[in-house]
Amino acid sequence: MLRQTIRWAAVAALLFGAVSCSKDETPGDPEGTVLLNMYNEQNGKTLLSDSDIYINDAGNFISPASCQLFMLGERSGLGGVRVTDLKNPAPEAAVMKKYGYVAVRGAAAYMFPSQCVALPVDPERGVNYLKFYVVDRITDPERGDLGAVVKFAIEAPRGYWLPEWGSTPYEIDYSSKALGDEVALTLPGDNFEAELYGNRELSCEKRGRKLVFVLHDWPSYGDGSVSYTLRLRVGESFTEVNVLLRY
């Protein structure tokens, strides 16, 4: 977990406040933004916040053990590093001026069938992530490339419209239905991904804003009701809830 408490590196780091902007302006830095001189492994090996991320001799951000890195491409600034779907995680990524990045702890992240990586919105786990942006390179006429000037901020995954972790927000009733019948639930948006642990007797399929369930076999356990685990993902966030089947 990337802690909310920022450990200042030995190099100078300046704290920036949030900057308001209109829709036509470049988004300002988020609250809690830090400006950091990240020197590469031959010139001090500065770590990014409290992670194990540093710049190696090849000029790449690298996380030897704990983080998955996502290179998001060129951005207007740290405020322009907007996290949506996180795909193609890597242990290292090239340091590119004016590029945005995200880092998540591998132990906390979960990869869905779509290959998108998401973080749990479970308040008890307190998971958050790093987003960072390369402002410029640090160079010396005699020593060459020394590292990069980086802005970063620690952020929590957004809740979107996802139901509360561990809750039972959905119920499907098969007491008057036959095997193979469909039961559809309408969700608040169509921007979700669902993964159901239905013991092969219950399946679900996304159709627009609807989550369509089909019971293929009657449960051999339970007493008229059975609970199944459902994972729902929106953007960089996911929740784990229960679906109650009555039969």
Q: Are strands 117-120 and 237-246 parallel, antiparallel or unpaired?
A: parallel
- Confidence at residue 26, expressed as pLDDT on a 0 to 100 scale: 57
Predicted confidence band of residue 37 (pLDDT cuts 50, 70, 90):
very high
Predicted confidence band of residue 102 (pLDDT cuts 50, 70, 90):
very high
Domains, the chain, ranges and CATH? 13-155 (no CATH), 170-246 (2.60.40.60)
Tell me the mean pLDDT in the region 78-90.
91
Tell me the mean pLDDT in the region 111-130.
93
pTM of the model: 0.82
Query: Residues near 169 by Cβ (< 8 Å), separated by ≥ 6?
Result: 163, 241, 242
* 122 contacts 165 by C-beta, under 8 angstroms: yes
Average pLDDT, the chain: 88
Tell me the mean pLDDT in the region 161-176.
96
Per-residue model confidence as pLDDT tens digits over 205-244: 999 999 999 999 999 887 899 999 999 999 999 999 999 9
Is the pLDDT at 3 greater than 50? The verdict is: no
Tell me the mean pLDDT in the region 172-182.
95
Cα→Cα distances 147→25, 31, 54, 59, 144, Å:
29, 25, 9, 8, 9
**Distance (Å, rounded) from C-alpha 106 to C-alpha 110?**
8
Residues of 87-108 as b/e, b for ≥16 C-beta within 10 angstroms?
eebeebbebbeebbbbbbbeeb
- Confidence at residue 1, expressed as pLDDT on a 0 to 100 scale: 42
